[in-house]
């Protein structure tokens, strides 16, 4: 654990701390990259919807869940910049997201939902 | 010289708040409030210290109300077949007592200390979003008033503080009481919600240079954990309350058993919030004693990282035990076994803390001041309550104890003996920093002993009553069942508590007149809030404190000499800041108050007449736009007197050189991206 | 031993010269706040979705009380509106990248497109609700109706709030108040908007598609 003094003087600090400066120049995709991702997500959606027309049998549900997670992950990581941003944002969000999953799956379990 | 709000305010969450207005724009529709003194300076303030004081003062008023409710209940139960109250009124009284004490007393008292002390303890000039802070206060105030207005209508809520559905549905609770319950708690809950994101951001982002997470005072740590608990548990109760309101006001079917609703849904949603809530109530007091015990034992806290991380562990585990409140509800054996186990485990980090406190006092040079006495009593009383908690963690035992007075004994030992005793300790400890003078110690000791004895007389016997089989929430019991004696003792105890509290009130009034100014550092404190004058000046710190270790201020006073002995090198009062600088601060604002006022209007509107709800909504929208168009600091209010300060003779050249290589490597961000120091990680 | 002329423990330092006191993490306050809030929203929607799952197939004890929501779903229609919302995430991200480049015109274009796509989604929802109502499922008809309308209604309110925010940003840009320095507000609204979108990703799969 970091017990040393952090930022003992102003020069140690990332003065790009003021928010607007640190994006724009920062990593992330080009516009075209974002569009490609969106097209990919559209494709995933099309596959999802196809389960309504084609009978996938017992793999339909697991497949839908996997595809949902893929879409979710891409939007969060790329569109919401978590992939490029400070890991603290990921932690804050994941705390809530995983917390919700870890709480409500047991709730449904106690109702013998599954 | 703005430590606060170095960027234009981007207020979050709802639409127009995210709007950014360049600070040079006009001040919006109305002129800004400018009063520095008088009631206006309080109503429109955004100063975290004034807000903290108001939280505390309003909470103490509610404490009086909740106390009267409790005394009525105890008077009714003093003798068998009591005739003081009707069954109906009795139900309303114990319900409102519980709601008041939990939501309107303990939570706001903790909020009072968090608001007042956290910026001082982390070396900040205010919280991250001062206006949102004010909004949180006013929502709490209006939520509390709204709840209590139910007394004037068809009756207060009478469904117990957890207000189980479907018992709280229209068919069993036809009056408006439950509507006031759900809407009132929603209003107060929104207040806690905005408060929680605000304090989280403040603690993560506004610490003094050098204060990484592992150098924060434990009270700040516990505040951080509590705010995360609120952040993640409030949405769940929000949804439960929304369901309840929709059922009652718009005929939805969430708890309509005839439509196939499962009555356990409410219980789950409530207790997913409810159990974290009990830690929301206790952890701030744990934080307070972790500050006072070292100061009055003249020893550093024993095992700082353990205290911090056990708090984090409690926070995590607190979300995994909720169903222990439902052991008797037919959950099924697997669920019961699982939650029984998790509940037993959660006692472990709690026990760790108790060991650390005892270890702190062990071999210390103890001063038995009043704050110390309250703190020690917390450790003792909470241990009793924790042990009875572990008793009903065992589901087999709990099926006997649940809904009996044994449970009442348990939660009063943790809530009164734990949370409240800690808060009293905090009041005596920080009173000088808040008001500039101490409370009288002799009266304080009377207060302490009366409350401690009264408390044990009141709630100790409830263990016996519960095991004898007296159910909780019975408005009377027959004679000759063996309940008479201990009930009478409990009632006598309750009146002794009353006497103790009257002594406290007298102490407050008398100390104001008779106690001399306290000086910056009356207790020989360890943390940096003691390095500024008492009462804390409006801008908190003349100069940004630079922190290098835990208990930093103490190390400015005591150092090892050549022989390696610890000697005092300075007195706190002498090396405190003078409080004579005037950095500019965020300006007061009308909008938080106006915005908050819209919520009770919506509440009344939903109950009585939807048109009123739209008026409330309109008010909120206006307030949001007014807020967004108003820069956080009034133009022209800027002054940089610090620059005239003569003492800045060196260092300039280096300080300006910000082009240093790859600043990220040194950035303070390191302290947080270090996995071991993740927030509540 | 106390020297009465000692300097204060915390005297002036070079920190007092810094014009903009950096935050402890170097990150922006608002962004931390937004992410914390979104974490909290996960539990809000978690409660709503779980309740719907629990209630969607509850046997009704009152006979003849209307169809279950899931029997009325029009998957092709909802697929289209889901697609619309997904695409609004793309236009939102383009708005953020435009403002980062300082291109106000583009920013406004994408903001407007995003808002329009959002409005289309809401219109679709209104249409869906009226169809359900005409087919006999009102808000109070049965428990699946209450749960369904509340869940999707909550989401709809979130989208609507997002549209208001987008419109405000558009106006600010038009009025010249959306400078490069406060470009962050676009990013923050963007975070909110994407979040609302991913909530729908979950709802679409869990509520509509999984049989
Ligand atoms: C050592 C840790 C603890 C354990 C193992 C524990 C266990 C329990 C259990 C199993 C119950 C349910 C009893 C029943 O209704 O049958 C309960 C009730 C309760 N506990 Fe605790 N508890 C602990 C600490 C706390 C703390 C710290 C607080 C508050 C500061 C607290 C407040 C309450 C309250 C208010 C209730 C009663 C709720 C009600 O039914 O109205 N407990 N506790
Ligand atoms: Cu509990």
Question: Is the CB of B392 inside a 6 Å radius of any atom of ligand 1?
Answer: yes
Q: How far is C115 from chain B (nearest CA, A)?
A: 13
pLDDT at residue number B633 = 66
- How many alpha carbons fall within 13 Å on the CB side of residue B133? 32
The lowest-confidence range among B295-309, B379-393, B431-445, B568-582 is B568-582
Res. C173 pLDDT band, cuts 50 70 90: very high
Shared domain for B446 and B304, answered yes or no, is yes
Region of A48 (left: φ > 0; alpha: ψ -120 to 50; beta: rest) is alpha
Q: Averaged over B478-491, what is the pLDDT?
A: 95
| B220 SS3 class | helix
Q: Where are the beta strands (DSSP E) in C38-186?
A: none
> Is B666 a residue whose pLDDT tops 60?
no
Residue B29 included in any domain: no
Shared domain for B68 and B186, answered yes or no, is yes
Return d(Cα B262, Cα B326) in angstroms, integer.
Answer: 14
Give the phi and the psi of residue B584 in degrees, each rounded to 5.
Answer: -80, 150
> Ligand 1 atom 4: the closest Cα is on which residue?
B389
Question: Is the CB of B282 inside a 6 Å radius of any atom of ligand 1?
Answer: yes
Res. C122 pLDDT band, cuts 50 70 90: very high
Convert the pLDDT of each residue in B602-653 to its tens digit.
999 999 999 999 999 999 999 998 888 887 666 544 333 333 333 333 333 3
pTM: 0.90
Which tokens in the block code for residue B121? 């303890």
- CATH number for the domain spanning B287: value is 1.20.210.10
Q: What is the rounded average pLDDT for all residues in chain B?
A: 88
Shared domain for B132 and B279, answered yes or no, is yes
% pLDDT > 90, chain A = 65
Touching subunits of C (3+ CB pairs, under 8 Å) are A, B
Domain of residue B629, residue span: 609-677
Asked whether B459 and B385 are in contact (CB, 8 A), the reply is no
Return the closest-CA partner of residue B266 out of B157, B164, B403, B158. B164
Convert the pLDDT of each residue in C156-168 to its tens digit.
999 999 999 999 9
Helix (H) or strand (E) holding B558: strand B558-560
Q: Averaged over B485-497, what is the pLDDT?
A: 97
Residue of C nearest to A16 (CA): C26
Do B204 and C25 make contact, defined as CB atoms within 8 angstroms? yes
Total residues belonging to chain B: 681
Res. B72 pLDDT band, cuts 50 70 90: very high
The lowest-confidence range among B267-276, C62-71, C124-133, C196-205 is C62-71
Report the helix count and the strand count for chain B, using DSSP H and E. Answer: 22, 2
Q: How far is B656 from chain A (nearest CA, A)?
A: 8
Asked whether B613 and B605 are in contact (CB, 8 A), the reply is yes
Number of domains into which chain B is organized:
2
Shared domain for B514 and B656, answered yes or no, is no
CA B410–ligand 1 middle distance (angstroms):
7
Asked whether B404 and B398 are in contact (CB, 8 A), the reply is no
| B54 SS3 class | helix
Q: What is the rounded average pLDDT for all residues in chain C?
A: 92
> Is B16 a residue whose pLDDT tops 50?
no
Burial of C207 (0-12, 13-18, 19+ CB in 10 A): buried
pLDDT at residue number B629 = 81
> Is B384 a residue whose pLDDT tops 90?
yes
Do B319 and A102 make contact, defined as CB atoms within 8 angstroms? yes
pLDDT at residue number C21 = 83
Q: What contacts B439, CB < 8 A, 6 or more positions away?
A: B370, B427, B428, B431, B507, B508, B511, B515
Q: What residues form DSSP beta bridges with C20?
A: B2
% pLDDT > 70, chain C = 97
CATH node for C29-209 = 1.20.120.80
pLDDT at residue number B565 = 84
Which tokens in the block code for residue C14? 């070079």
What is the DSSP code (8-state) at residue A5? P
| B569 SS3 class | coil
CA B387–ligand 2 middle distance (angstroms):
13
Shared domain for B625 and B526, answered yes or no, is no
Residue of A nearest to C20 (CA): A18
| B206 SS3 class | coil
Q: What contacts B593, CB < 8 A, 6 or more positions away?
A: B43, B44, B134, B138
Shared domain for B420 and B307, answered yes or no, is yes
Shared domain for B490 and B394, answered yes or no, is yes
Q: Averaged over B157-166, what is the pLDDT?
A: 94
pLDDT at residue number C5 = 56
Residue of C nearest to B672 (CA): C25
pLDDT at residue number B580 = 86
Residue B588 included in any domain: no
Q: How far is A1 from chain C (nearest CA, A)?
A: 16
Return the closest-CA partner of residue C142 out of C75, C71, C81, C85. C71
Q: What contacts B16, CB < 8 A, 6 or more positions away?
A: B624, B625, B627, B628, C164, C165, C168
> Is B677 a residue whose pLDDT tops 60?
no
Q: So where are chain A's domains?
A: 28-83, 84-114
Res. A10 pLDDT band, cuts 50 70 90: low
Res. B597 pLDDT band, cuts 50 70 90: very high
- How many alpha carbons fall within 13 Å on the CB side of residue A50? 10
Q: Averaged over A84-110, what is the pLDDT?
A: 95
CA B621 from centroid of its chain's CA atoms = 29
What is the DSSP code (8-state) at residue B102? I
> Ligand 1 atom 34: the closest Cα is on which residue?
B411
| C20 SS3 class | strand
Residue of A nearest to B657 (CA): A11
Residue B32 included in any domain: no
The lowest-confidence range among B224-233, B476-485, B650-659, C142-151 is B650-659
Shared domain for B368 and B474, answered yes or no, is yes
pLDDT at residue number A26 = 52
Greater model confidence, B624 or A13: B624
| B559 SS3 class | strand
* Distances in whole angstroms, Cα of residue B173 to Cα of each of A25, B153, B168, B264: 60, 14, 5, 18
What is the DSSP code (8-state) at residue B208? P
- How many alpha carbons fall within 13 Å on the CB side of residue B123? 31
Q: Averaged over B114-120, what is the pLDDT?
A: 97
Which tokens in the block code for residue B372? 């110390």
**Preferred mutation among C10, C48, C160 to probe B, highest tally of B CBs within 10 A:** C10
The lowest-confidence range among A69-78, B25-34, B181-190, C13-22 is B25-34
Asked whether B277 and B233 are in contact (CB, 8 A), the reply is yes
> Is B662 a residue whose pLDDT tops 80?
no
| B560 SS3 class | strand
Convert the pLDDT of each residue in B532-576 to its tens digit.
999 999 999 999 999 999 999 999 999 988 888 888 988 999 999
Residue B586 included in any domain: no
Total residues belonging to chain A: 114
Residue B138: CB atoms within 10 A of its CB come to 21
Shared domain for B132 and B270, answered yes or no, is yes
Given B473, B507, B531, which residue is the final one in a domain? Answer: B531
> Ligand 1 atom 16: the closest Cα is on which residue?
B402
Asked whether C43 and B573 are in contact (CB, 8 A), the reply is no
Return d(Cα B653, Cα B663) in angstroms, integer.
Answer: 18
Return d(Cα B284, Cα B270) in angstroms, integer.
Answer: 22
What is the DSSP code (8-state) at residue C18? -
Residue B553 included in any domain: no
Q: Averaged over B650-661, what is the pLDDT?
A: 33
Ligand nearest to the CA of B392: 1
Shared domain for B642 and B524, answered yes or no, is no
Q: Averaged over B266-282, what is the pLDDT?
A: 97
Residue B604 included in any domain: no
% pLDDT > 90, chain B = 80
Residue B12 included in any domain: no
| B404 SS3 class | strand
pLDDT at residue number C179 = 78
pLDDT at residue number B668 = 36
Return d(Cα B649, Cα B646) in angstroms, integer.
Answer: 7
Res. B672 pLDDT band, cuts 50 70 90: very low
Asked whether B217 and B113 are in contact (CB, 8 A), the reply is no
Strands B558-560 and B566-568: antiparallel
Asked whether B515 and B121 are in contact (CB, 8 A), the reply is no
Return d(Cα B191, Cα B104) in angstroms, integer.
Answer: 12
Residue B595 included in any domain: no
Q: Is the peptide bond before B166 cis (omega within 30 degrees of 0)?
A: yes
What is the DSSP code (8-state) at residue B566? E
pLDDT at residue number B141 = 98
| Residue found by looking up tokens 């009124």 in the block | B89
Return d(Cα B564, Cα B544) in angstroms, integer.
Answer: 31
Do B663 and A13 make contact, defined as CB atoms within 8 angstroms? yes
Give the phi and the psi of residue B437 in degrees, each rounded to 5.
Answer: -140, 155
Q: Averaged over A35-43, what is the pLDDT?
A: 96
Return d(Cα B656, Cα A10) in angstroms, integer.
Answer: 9
- Percent helix / strand / coil, chain A, rounded to 5: 70, 0, 30
Convert the pLDDT of each residue in B296-345 to its tens digit.
999 999 999 999 999 999 999 999 999 999 999 989 999 999 999 999 99
Q: Is the peptide bond before B153 cis (omega within 30 degrees of 0)?
A: no
pLDDT at residue number B27 = 42
Q: What residues form DSSP beta bridges with B568?
A: B558
Shared domain for B56 and B180, answered yes or no, is yes
The lowest-confidence range among A14-23, B32-41, B243-252 is A14-23
pLDDT at residue number B30 = 59
* Distances in whole angstroms, Cα of residue B402 to Cα of each of B99, B268, B407, B470, C175: 20, 17, 6, 11, 63
Nearest to B332 among A3, A17, A110 (CB): A110
């Amino acid at each position: 654990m970091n017990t040393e003094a952090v930022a003992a003087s102003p020069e140690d600090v990332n003065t790009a701390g003021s928010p607007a400066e640190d994006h724009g120049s920062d990593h992330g995709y080009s516009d075209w990259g974002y569009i490609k991702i969106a097209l990919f997500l559209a494709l995933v959606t099309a596959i999802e919807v196809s389960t309504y027309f084609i009978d996938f049998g017992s793999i339909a549900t697991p497949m839908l869940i996997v595809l949902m997670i893929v879409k979710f992950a891409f939007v969060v990581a790329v569109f919401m910049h978590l992939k490029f941003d400070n890991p603290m944002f990921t932690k804050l969000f994941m705390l809530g997201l995983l917390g919700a999953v870890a709480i409500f799956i047991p709730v449904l379990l106690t109702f013998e939902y599954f | 010289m703005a430590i606060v709000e170095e960027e234009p305010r981007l207020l979050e969450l709802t639409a127009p708040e995210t709007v950014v207005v360049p600070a040079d724009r006009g001040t919006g529709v109305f002129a800004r409030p400018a009063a520095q003194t008088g009631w206006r300076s309080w109503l429109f303030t955004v100063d975290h210290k004034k807000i903290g004081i108001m939280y505390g003062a309003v909470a103490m008023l509610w404490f009086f109300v909740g106390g009267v409710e409790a005394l009525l209940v105890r008077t009714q139960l003093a003798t068998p077949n009591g005739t003081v109250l009707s069954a109906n009124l009795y139900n309303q009284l114990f319900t409102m007592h519980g709601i008041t004490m939990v939501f309107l007393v303990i939570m706001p008292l903790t909020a009072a200390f968090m608001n007042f002390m956290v910026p001082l303890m982390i070396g900040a000039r205010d919280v991250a979003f001062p206006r949102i802070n004010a909004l949180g206060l006013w929502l709490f105030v209006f939520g509390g008033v709204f709840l209590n207005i139910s007394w004037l209508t068809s009756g207060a809520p009478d469904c117990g503080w957890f207000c189980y559905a479907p018992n709280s549905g229209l068919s069993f609770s036809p009056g408006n009481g439950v509507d006031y319950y759900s809407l009132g708690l929603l209003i107060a809950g929104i207040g806690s919600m905005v408060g929680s994101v605000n304090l989280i951001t403040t603690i993560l982002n506004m610490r003094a240079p050098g204060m990484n997470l592992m150098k924060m005072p434990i009270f700040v740590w516990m505040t951080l954990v509590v705010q995360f608990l609120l952040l993640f548990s409030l949405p769940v109760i929000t949804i439960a309350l929304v369901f309840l309101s929709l059922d009652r006001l718009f005929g939805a079917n969430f708890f309509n058993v005839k439509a196939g609703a499962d009555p356990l849904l409410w219980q789950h949603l409530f207790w997913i919030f409810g159990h974290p809530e009990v830690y929301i109530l206790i952890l701030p007091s744990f934080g307070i004693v972790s500050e006072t015990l070292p100061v009055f034992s003249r020893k550093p806290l024993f095992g700082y990282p353990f205290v911090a991380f056990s708090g984090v562990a409690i926070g995590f585990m607190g979300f995994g035990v909720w169903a222990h409140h439902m052991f008797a509800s037919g959950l099924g054996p697997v669920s019961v076994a699982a939650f029984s186990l998790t509940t037993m485990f959660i006692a472990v980090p709690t026990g760790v803390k108790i060991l650390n406190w005892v270890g702190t006092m062990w071999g210390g040079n103890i001063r038995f001041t009043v704050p110390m006495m309250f703190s020690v009593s917390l450790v003792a009383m909470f241990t009793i309550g924790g042990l009875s908690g572990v008793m009903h963690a065992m589901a087999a035992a709990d099926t006997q104890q649940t809904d009996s007075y044994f449970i009442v004994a348990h939660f009063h030992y943790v809530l009164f003996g734990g949370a409240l005793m800690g808060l009293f300790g905090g009041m005596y400890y920080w009173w000088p920093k808040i008001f500039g003078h101490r409370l009288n110690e002799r009266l304080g000791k009377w207060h302490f002993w009366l409350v401690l004895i009264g408390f044990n007389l009141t709630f100790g016997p409830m263990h016996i009553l519960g095991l004898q089989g007296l159910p909780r929430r019975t408005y009377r019991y027959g004679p000759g069942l063996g309940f008479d004696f201990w009930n009478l003792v409990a009632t006598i105890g309750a009146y002794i508590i009353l006497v103790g509290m009257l002594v406290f009130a007298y102490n407050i009034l008398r100390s104001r007149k008779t106690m001399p100014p306290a000086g910056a550092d009356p207790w020989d404190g360890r943390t940096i809030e003691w390095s500024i004058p008492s009462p804390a000046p409006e801008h908190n710190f003349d100069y940004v404190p630079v922190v290098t270790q835990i208990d930093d201020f103490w190390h400015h006073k005591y150092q090892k000499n050549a022989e390696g002995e610890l000697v005092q090198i300075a007195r706190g009062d002498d090396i405190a800041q003078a409080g004579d600088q005037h950095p500019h601060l965020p300006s007061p604002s009308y909008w938080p108050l106006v915005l908050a006022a819209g919520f009770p209007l919506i509440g009344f509107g939903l109950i009585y007449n939807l048109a009123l709800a739209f008026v409330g909504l309109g008010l909120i929208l206006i307030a949001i736009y007014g807020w967004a168009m108003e820069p956080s600091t009034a133009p022209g209010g800027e002054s940089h007197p610090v620059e005239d300060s003569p003492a800045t003779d060196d260092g300039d050249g280096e300080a300006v050189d910000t082009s240093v290589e790859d600043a990220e490597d040194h950035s303070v961000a390191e302290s947080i991206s270090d996995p071991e120091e993740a927030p509540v990680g | 031993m106390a020297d009465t002329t000692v300097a204060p423990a915390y005297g002036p330092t070079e920190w007092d010269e810094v014009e903009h006191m950096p935050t402890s993490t170097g990150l922006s306050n608002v962004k931390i706040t937004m992410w914390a809030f979104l974490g909290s929203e996960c539990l809000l929607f978690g409660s709503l979705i779980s309740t719907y799952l629990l209630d969607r197939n509850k046997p009704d004890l009152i006979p003849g009380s209307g169809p279950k929501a899931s029997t009325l779903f029009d998957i092709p229609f909802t697929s289209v509106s889901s697609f619309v919302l997904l695409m609004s995430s793309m236009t939102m991200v383009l708005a953020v990248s435009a403002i980062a480049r300082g291109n106000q015109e583009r920013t406004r274009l994408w903001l407007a497109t995003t808002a329009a796509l959002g409005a289309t989604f809401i219109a679709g929802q209104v249409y869906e609700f009226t169809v359900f109502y005409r087919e006999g499922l009102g808000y109070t008809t049965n428990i699946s109706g209450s749960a369904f309308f509340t869940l999707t209604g909550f989401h709809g309110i979130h989208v609507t709030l997002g549209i208001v925010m987008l419109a405000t940003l558009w106006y600010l840009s038009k009025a010249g108040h959306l400078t490069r320095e406060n470009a962050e507000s676009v990013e923050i609204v963007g975070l909110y908007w994407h979040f609302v979108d991913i909530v729908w990703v979950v709802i679409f799969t869990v509520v509509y598609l999984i049989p």
